[in-house]
Amino acid sequence: MTGELEALAARTLCVGFDGAQADPRVLHSLTQLRPAGVILFARNIASIEDCAELVARVQAACEDELPLLVTLDQEGGRVARLRAGAAEVPSAMALGACDDEELCERVGLALAADVRRAGATVNFAPVLDVASDPRNTVIGTRSFGDDPERVARLGLALARGLERGGVVAVAKHFPGHGATEVDSHLALPVVAADAAQLRARDVAPFARAVAGGLRAIMTAHVAVPALDPDGRPATLSKRVLTGILREELAFDGVCVTDCMQMGAIDTTVGSEGGAVEALRAGADLVIVSHSLELAARIARAIAAAVRAGRLPLARLTEAVARVDALRRWTASVPAPPAADPGVGREAARRALTMARGTLPRWEPGARVLVLSSAEAALEYGAADAQRDNPPFAQALQALGVDAWEAPATAGAEVLEQAERVALVVSRVQHDPARLESARALLTRRPDALLVVAREPYDATLLAQARAAVCTFGEEPVSLRALAEALVAGEQPRGRMPVSIDAAG
């Protein structure tokens, strides 16, 4: 940085970098930039212990009167940057099926324990988006469900657990990303609803979060014409961030942008101009996830906007003051209370929900054919921390069931040889070929157990199956929970957190 304004601008930035080790070039760039914080992704995490060492090196390089905000996405389910050695926690939708605030708070505390062990101080969770569009895949099981009241209750409970554990909870994505099928990592979604519906459905959980004292809220890169007729992304909209979040909801905490390199911003107004507009709209902390060079250019663009009178200096200093206050809080948090590392396994078991029929019992030694018609893992944004998951058959084998696998396109002769069949599906509603293949298979074997491993809407589209169970996630913790219930002969107790009729 070359001047005071550039240095001030950098104190509104939270930046990402490559590598799981403290590369001298990265440390030099961070020292030159002096951002407010850093954001960690799977690319930075070889193990929790190694991550803590990396963070310590980065903090030392950027040593200041205030610590860096060290941030990550540790939601549970498919969005979890910390994997090996971390508590296994199912998705928010699985927690929605449990509908237990005390359980959610314990899950939040377990998440916080791992976040703190990794050296981080800020968790971009809970997700307060309401799952109102069955076609939505970017949120999906990351939501607690389609009832705003439940989303608010359970989200705030998880946030309480995080903050009890000494971690800043960041509610996201304001004013709501659950009512669109377009993924803002790729393009700009438009939420088409009138203002009254938006306030009652999408904004309501965030209003509860503000009333509950949450310290930070993350914006959504979505256009909401009913709230901003000019069609600006909410992240860049003064009507949304100042008019609604600040003035209407009276939020005085830190407003964090989603990443400015996402397609909804980068391919429209551009990352540099978008950062300036976000600050002008009322944001305080600007996320630049993937490029330190771009982050430096953004700091210069912010400074230039102040000099040109396009961004008031008072607005920039207000943002810095809020971010500094949050950094100061992270410097003084006490040691967290002990967390229960097994709470995620408990939650996954309690989340199991029958969409139809009853769960069979598969005794040890039973021969079970497991067929899979699952969606390939996405390779961008929120999914980039995924690992290869052990198949459901492996989870059954560990419990003594004689399970073996075959593709969902297996021929009739394979099906006829199997005494018992399980068909594991995820998001077949988005793939007509996989949907038709699953329907054909279930027509031949309606006695097969349908395992819906992501959003539960597939259960409605595959009515041929007499029994359908929902796990709300295809992570190991959820598949093992189902395997254990099958062998124990335990009927699921979860309640459907969304209306699955909407998918029909």
Grade residue 501 by pLDDT with cuts at 50, 70 and 90. confident
> How is the beta sheet containing 122-123 ordered, strand by strand?
254-256, 216-219, 168-174, 122-123, 69-72, 37-39, 13-15, 286-288
**Please, what's the b/e burial string for 407-434 (b: 16 or more CB within 10 A of its CB; e: otherwise)?**
ebebeeeebeebebbbbbbbbbbebeeb
Q: What is the pLDDT of residue 41?
A: 96
Q: Give residues with Cβ within 8 angstroms of 390, minimum separation 6.
A: 476, 479
Q: What is the pLDDT of residue 389?
A: 52
Q: What is the pLDDT of residue 383?
A: 43
Q: What is the pLDDT of residue 92?
A: 98
- Supply the DSSP symbol for 88: P
Check whether 318 has a pLDDT greater than 80: yes
The strand pairing partners of 371, in sequence order, are 406, 423
Mean pLDDT of all residues in 335-362: 95
Grade residue 410 by pLDDT with cuts at 50, 70 and 90. confident
**Of the ranges 153-157, 204-208, 331-335, 371-375, which one carries the lowest mean pLDDT score?**
371-375
Q: What is the pLDDT of residue 388?
A: 47
Q: Which of 185, 202, 290, 458 is catalytic?
A: 185
Using CB atoms within 10 Å of the CB of residue 38, give its burial: 0 to 12 exposed, 13 to 18 middle, 19+ buried: buried
Mean pLDDT of all residues in 348-370: 96
The strand pairing partners of 141, in sequence order, are none
Find tokens 């988006």 and name the residue: 129
Check whether 208 has a pLDDT greater than 50: yes
Q: What is the pLDDT of residue 30?
A: 97
Q: Which of 466, 471, 475 is nearest to 494 (CA)?
A: 471
Q: What is the pLDDT of residue 380?
A: 43
Annotation says 173 is catalytic:
no
Q: At what angle do helices 271-281 and 292-307 cross, to 10 degrees?
A: 50
Question: Which tens digit of pLDDT belongs to each residue from 140-176?
Answer: 999 999 999 999 999 999 999 999 999 999 999 999 9
Question: Which tens digit of pLDDT belongs to each residue from 216-256?
Answer: 999 999 999 999 999 999 999 999 999 999 999 999 999 99
CA dist 223 and 175 (Å) reads 10
Find tokens 């549970």 and name the residue: 76
Percentage of the chain with pLDDT > 90? 85
Annotation says 146 is catalytic:
no
Using CB atoms within 10 Å of the CB of residue 3, give its burial: 0 to 12 exposed, 13 to 18 middle, 19+ buried: exposed
Which run of H or of E encompasses 294? Answer: helix 292-307
Check whether 104 has a pLDDT greater than 70: yes
Check whether 495 has a pLDDT greater than 80: yes
**Please, what's the b/e burial string for 51-87 (b: 16 or more CB within 10 A of its CB; e: otherwise)?**
bbbbbebbbebbeeebebbbbbbbbbbbbbbbbeebb
Grade residue 2 by pLDDT with cuts at 50, 70 and 90. low
Check whether 387 has a pLDDT greater than 80: no
Higher pLDDT, 230 or 181: 230
Grade residue 286 by pLDDT with cuts at 50, 70 and 90. very high
Domain architecture of the chain: domains with CATH: 4-330 (3.20.20.300), 352-503 (3.40.50.10090)
Stated pTM of the model: 0.95
Check whether 409 has a pLDDT greater than 90: no
Check whether 401 has a pLDDT greater than 70: yes
Q: Give residues with Cβ within 8 angstroms of 338, minimum separation 6.
A: none
Strands 420-425 and 367-373: parallel
Q: What is the pLDDT of residue 291?
A: 95
Distance of CA 428 to the CA centre of its chain: 21
**CB-based contact 470:348 (threshold 8 Å):** no
Instruction: Compute the mean pLDDT over every residue in the chain, rounded to the nearest whole number.
Output: 93
Q: Which of 202, 258, 284, 458 is catalytic?
A: 258
SS3 for 106-170 is: HHHHHHHHHHHHCCCCEECCCECCCCCCCCCCCCHHHCCCCCHHHHHHHHHHHHHHHHHCCCEEE
Joined together, the tokens standing for residue 262 give 């996402």
Longest dimension (CA), the chain: 76
Question: Which tens digit of pLDDT belongs to each residue from 105-138?
Answer: 999 999 999 999 999 999 999 999 999 999 998 9
Q: What is the pLDDT of residue 418?
A: 84
Grade residue 384 by pLDDT with cuts at 50, 70 and 90. very low
Q: How many of the other CB atoms lie within 10 Å of CB of 401?
A: 22
Joined together, the tokens standing for residue 254 give 């830190």
CA dist 40 and 51 (Å) reads 9
Grade residue 415 by pLDDT with cuts at 50, 70 and 90. confident
**CB-based contact 158:169 (threshold 8 Å):** yes
